[in-house]
C-alpha cells in the first residue's frame, strides 16, 4: 500500500533505539539532526520507553529491535522503518550510511507500507515465529500436531517452529524450511531435528488453527519461545492462530524481498572460482 498523504512536518515522529547495541549514539545524533533539518521534531526513546502516540517510527538496532518495535505498533498501524545496527539486518531498510537517503524518502512520500501477518498464542504475538520445545533442554520431546482440531501427525523432535512468511528466512530456514514471500497468507510448520527421515515442513493457510500438545500419557509441559527472545513455560496445549493485527513495515524500494535474498543470504548467487 503506498502511503501518499504523509505530511512530514505535521506528524509525530519517534526514533526508538536499542540501548544494548554497542555505541548507537553517534547514529542517533545523525538521524535526529537529519530529521530536525527537514523540519521534524522527533522524540528519541530507548526501547524500554516505547509508547504509542506517533505517526511514523524509525527503529534503530538489529532485527530483534525491529521485530519488537513493529509488533508493538501493529495495533496502531504505525509504519516502522528499520535502520540496521546489527549483523544481518534482514528486516531493516537501510544501513547507517544511508540515513540521509531514508529521511529524504520519507519526507518526499517515496515509500510504501507492507503489511506483515503475525501469529498469536493467547496474549502473546510473534512476527517471526513461535518455537515450541519440551521442558527439558537435554532431550527431545514428543509432540502431537492438530490443525483445526483434526489430528495431523506426531513428532519426536527437539522442537517445532511455527513461522510467518516474515520469519521463514530466520530460524525456519536454518531448520530446513522453505522461503515464503512476505505477502503470502500462510504459515510454515518446521520440525527441529526430528527422529525420522520422513518428517518434512508443511505450509498451511493462515486461516488454520494450529494446536500442539503432547502424547496423552505424557505431561503437557512446553517452552514457548517468542521471536527468539521471550521464553514462556506452560503446562497447557499451545494453540496458535493468525493475529488480528498486522505489522506495518515502511519500504523505500519496490521488490526489495528478492534483492535482500540475494545480497544478504547469497540466494541464487553463482559460486566464485577459487
Q: C-alpha cell of 50?
A: 516505547
Q: Can you tell me the distance from the alpha carbon of 23 to that of 95, in angstroms, rounded to the nearest whole number?
A: 15
- Out of 5, 7, 37, 63, pick the active-site residue: 63
104 labelled catalytic = no
* Beta strands at 210-213 and 202-205: parallel, antiparallel or unpaired: unpaired
CA distances from 250 to 70, 111, 193, 213, 244 (A): 10, 6, 35, 37, 20
Q: Can you tell me the distance from the alpha carbon of 44 to that of 13, in angstroms, rounded to the nearest whole number?
A: 9
* Beta strands at 80-84 and 94-95: parallel, antiparallel or unpaired: parallel
Please report how the helices 99-107 and 25-37 are oriented relative to each other, as an axis angle in degrees rounded to 10. 30
- Kindly list the catalytic residues: 63
Amino acid at each position: 500500500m503506498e502511503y501518499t498523504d504523509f505530511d512530514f512536518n505535521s506528524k509525530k515522529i519517534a526514533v526508538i533505539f536499542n540501548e544494548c547495541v554497542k555505541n548507537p549514539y553517534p547514529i542517533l545524533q545523525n538521524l535526529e539532526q537529519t530529521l530536525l533539518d527537514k523540519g521534524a521534531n522527533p522524540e528519541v526513546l530507548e526501547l524500554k520507553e516505547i509508547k504509542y502516540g506517533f505517526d511514523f517510527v524509525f527503529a534503530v538496532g538489529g532485527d530483534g529491535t525491529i521485530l519488537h518495535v513493529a509488533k508493538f505498533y501493529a495495533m496502531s498501524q504505525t509504519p516502522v522503518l528499520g535502520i540496521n545496527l546489527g549483523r544481518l539486518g534482514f528486516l531493516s531498510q537501510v544501513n547507517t550510511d544511508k540515513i540521509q537517503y531514508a529521511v529524504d524518502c520519507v519526507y518526499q512520500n517515496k515509500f510504501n507500507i507492507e503489511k506483515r501477518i503475525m501469529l498469536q498464542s493467547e496474549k502473546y504475538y510473534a512476527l517471526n515465529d513461535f518455537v515450541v520445545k519440551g521442558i527439558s533442554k537435554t532431550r527431545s520431546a514428543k509432540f502431537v500436531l492438530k490443525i483445526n482440531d483434526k489430528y495431523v501427525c506426531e513428532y519426536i523432535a527437539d522442537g517445532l517452529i511455527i513461522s510467518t512468511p516474515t520469519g521463514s528466512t530466520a530460524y525456519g530456514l536454518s531448520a530446513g524450511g522453505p522461503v515464503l514471500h512476505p505477502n503470502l497468507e500462510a504459515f510454515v510448520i518446521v520440525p527441529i531435528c526430528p527422529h525420522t527421515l520422513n518428517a518434512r515442513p508443511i505450509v498451511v493457510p493462515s486461516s488454520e488453527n494450529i494446536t500442539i500438545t503432547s502424547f496423552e500419557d505424557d505431561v503437557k509441559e512446553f517452552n514457548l519461545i517468542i521471536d527468539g527472545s521471550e521464553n514462556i513455560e506452560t503446562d497447557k496445549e499451545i494453540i496458535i492462530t493468525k493475529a488480528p493485527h498486522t505489522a506495518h513495515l515502511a519500504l523505500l524500494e519496490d521488490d526489495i524481498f528478492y534483492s535482500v535474498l540475494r545480497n544478504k543470504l547469497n540466494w541464487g548467487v553463482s559460486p566464485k572460482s577459487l
